[in-house]
Amino acid sequence: MLQVKSVTRMFGQKAAVDRASFAVEGPQFLGIIGRSGAGKSTFLRMMNRLTDATSGEILVEGRNVLALKGADARAWQSQCAMIFQQFNLVPRMDVASNVLHGILNRRSTVQTLFNLWPRADILKALDILDRLGIAEQAPKRAEALSGGQQQRVAIARALMQDPKIILADEPIASLDPMNAQIVMDTLKRINVEDKRMVIANLHTLDTARRYCDRVIGMRDGRIVFDGTPDQLSTGVARDIYGADATFNEAATSTAIPADTTADRTYADLMMS
Amino acid sequence: MVDVAFGPEQGKRPDLSNTREAYLDMVRRKRMYGGILLVLFIALMSSGWMLADDRNAGGFWGGLHQVFDFPSEVLSEAWEKRANLPGIFIDHIPALIETINIAAVATLIGGVAAMALSLLATRGLARWPRLVPVFRRTLDALRAIPEIVIALVLIYILGGGPVPAVIAIALHTGGALGKLFSEVAENADPKPVEGLASVGATWSQRMWLGVIPQVAPNWLSYALLRFEINVRASAILGFVGEGGIGHDLKLAMQWGQGRYDQVVAIFLLLFLTIVLIDQMSDRYRHRLTKGKPA
């Protein structure tokens, strides 16, 4: 379904992403790990067409999305949702409007600019918010919400897009452990229940081990590891994070509590 | 292990004597530049005064004591006829309304033009990044020509009246507000705009939904300030034949002695109007940028 072929992005003389190639079949939960500056964000931004690639192809169902231009590129963006570290909502607009922004590309300019959303769209947005457990926040301004709630609004906007692929660029890096877990559990449920492919840039090994079906490790723009979470040994981690003496496993783990497997998680409760 | 917070151990730190010298050098250099600027400033001021003294027909210092002769003549006549002032106020209200109308329409038209031009001229937001310099120079050009110059040209083409005044003020307003709007937009948070871009929003959707909500309070605040300035500009344009209260003031002053009560009445009217608008816009602008008073 997704084939990445030798995708490269140069910034001056430096390759931020260097001939990255891999293929994904089916709705996997794919994690990309690596240090800051390894090229993870640049890669996701190229997939969503926020950044242009220097060379290479990304084939989605046989179509090279990197070659799309203008309205075609925007149509691709509307099918390829993106979730950001800083949520990237419009802070002064209400939560439901922010969710409706997911379908900006599929409604007329007049409808969207003057907030004349069809009733069915508004109801769908409210349903999605309800599914994520934040329906009562719908009329509030996005800036009034906590970070964890804002990230769930961003996920709701992504679901509004009814996307083939959800890209998540460090979705939990600005969140506390509790909210981080809610957001990751939510993404995992969307992945499993809706059968949507999720590609998430993650900072930490333990999050990748816990949520991903498959992990890609990047270092200096190149893919240095591609395998299952079980194969992520300490040696492999050193390859990805660099072999300098300061490396230790603790430095790459955040505090998503590991002892919640027996209980139903918060996100389970909200979504059931 | 390297201590990240405090740097290398004492013996291995780089020699600081060079840094010390470099810093003292920088202090000396800054002081020297300051001194040069002060000397330049004094030279410019004194040469300016001397030039003014030379150019003045009667001699600058000699004529200085006469500066207050005309105002005192006007004020004393107005004081004698002070009973007429309320009646004159009422006579000139229609002209005042015309002046304010000219300013309001011009601010509106100029403001709308400034919205579009400023976004096109803002780096990082522009629809066509390569044309940013073109739109910036357009704003510069609009701003550089004073209203009165545009109005004088338009009088030849369109004749006197409020329409050329509106066009003249709107053109200048477009340039002036466009520059201010663009600076506000430049500081807008790019993250919401990027969020909208990621769902495939067009440029107009990104601007209207991502940028305008962020900048609207500041933009409105600047537009109100500009309205206040435009009321003054519109009054001045009356002097060159564009109607409104400025025209009345010019007629009264040309008449000279005998109509000085009118001159004072019009001045007072204009002054009070501008103070009133200033007060209102001040309060409203404060609410827009800082939120409602608690």
Residue of B nearest to A50 (CA): B198
- From CA A15, how far away is CA B32, in angstroms rounded? 46
* Residue bearing tokens 């990197």: A66
* Alpha carbon separation from A43 to A15, A40, A63 (Å, rounded): 11, 5, 18
The confidence band for A259, taking pLDDT boundaries of 50, 70 and 90, is very low
Question: Cβ A113–B194 below 8 Å, yes or no?
Answer: no
pLDDT(B93) > 70: yes
What does the longest C-alpha to C-alpha distance in chain B come to? Answer: 93
The confidence band for A4, taking pLDDT boundaries of 50, 70 and 90, is very high
The helix (run of H) or strand (run of E) holding residue A173 is none
The domain locations on chain A are 29-49+72-271
Instruction: Give pLDDT, residue A260.
Output: 44
| Nearest of B126, B116, B84, B108 to residue B173 by alpha carbon | B108
pLDDT(A269) > 50: no
Strand partners, A165: A80, A197
pLDDT(B167) > 70: yes
Question: Cβ B200–A86 below 8 Å, yes or no?
Answer: no
Which CATH number applies to A29-49+72-271? Answer: 3.40.50.300
Strand partners, A169: A201
Give pLDDT tens digits for B30-76: 999 999 999 999 999 999 888 877 776 666 666 677 778 888 888 88
| The token pair that represents A253 in the structure block | 């783990």
Look at A152-161, A250-259, B84-93 and tell me which has the smallest mean pLDDT.
Answer: A250-259
pLDDT exceeding 70 applies to what percent of chain A?
89
Instruction: Give pLDDT, residue B176.
Output: 95
Give A45→chain B minimum CA distance, Å: 9
Beta-carbon contacts of B259 under 8 Å, excluding residues fewer than 6 positions away, are B252, B253
For residue A102, list chain B residues with Cβ-Cβ distance below 8 A: 199
Backbone angles phi, psi at A57, to 5 degrees: -135, 145
pLDDT(B136) > 70: yes
Decide: pTM greater than 0.95. no
Question: Cβ B199–A102 below 8 Å, yes or no?
Answer: yes
Do residues A94 and A148 touch, judged by C-beta distance below 8 A? no
For residue A254, the SS3 value is coil
The confidence band for B200, taking pLDDT boundaries of 50, 70 and 90, is very high
Helix locations, chain A, DSSP H: 40-47, 70-79, 95-100, 109-113, 119-131, 147-160, 177-193, 205-211, 234-241, 266-271
| Separation of CA A180 from chain center | 13
Query: Among partner residues B192, B200, B204, which is closest to A90 by beta-carbon distance?
Result: B192
Backbone angles phi, psi at A65, to 5 degrees: -75, -20
Beta-carbon contacts of A188 under 8 Å, excluding residues fewer than 6 positions away, are A29, A198, A211
| Nearest of A239, A98, A234 to residue A155 by alpha carbon | A98
- From CA A100, how far away is CA B80, in angstroms rounded? 70
Do residues B132 and B126 touch, judged by C-beta distance below 8 A? yes
Give B293→chain A minimum CA distance, Å: 19
Burial readout A5-18 (b: 16 or more C-beta within 10 A, e: otherwise):
bebbbeeeeebbbb
For residue A79, the SS3 value is helix
For residue B223, the SS3 value is helix
Give pLDDT tens digits for B260-269: 888 888 888 8
For residue B192, list chain A residues with Cβ-Cβ distance below 8 A: 88-91
Give pLDDT tens digits for B245-291: 888 888 888 887 778 888 888 888 888 988 898 888 888 878 877 76
Mean pLDDT of chain A: 88
What does the longest C-alpha to C-alpha distance in chain A come to? Answer: 59
Supply the ipTM of this predicted assembly.
0.85
- From CA B192, how far away is CA B205, in angstroms rounded? 12
| The token pair that represents B232 in the structure block | 């003054």
Question: Cβ A76–B200 below 8 Å, yes or no?
Answer: yes
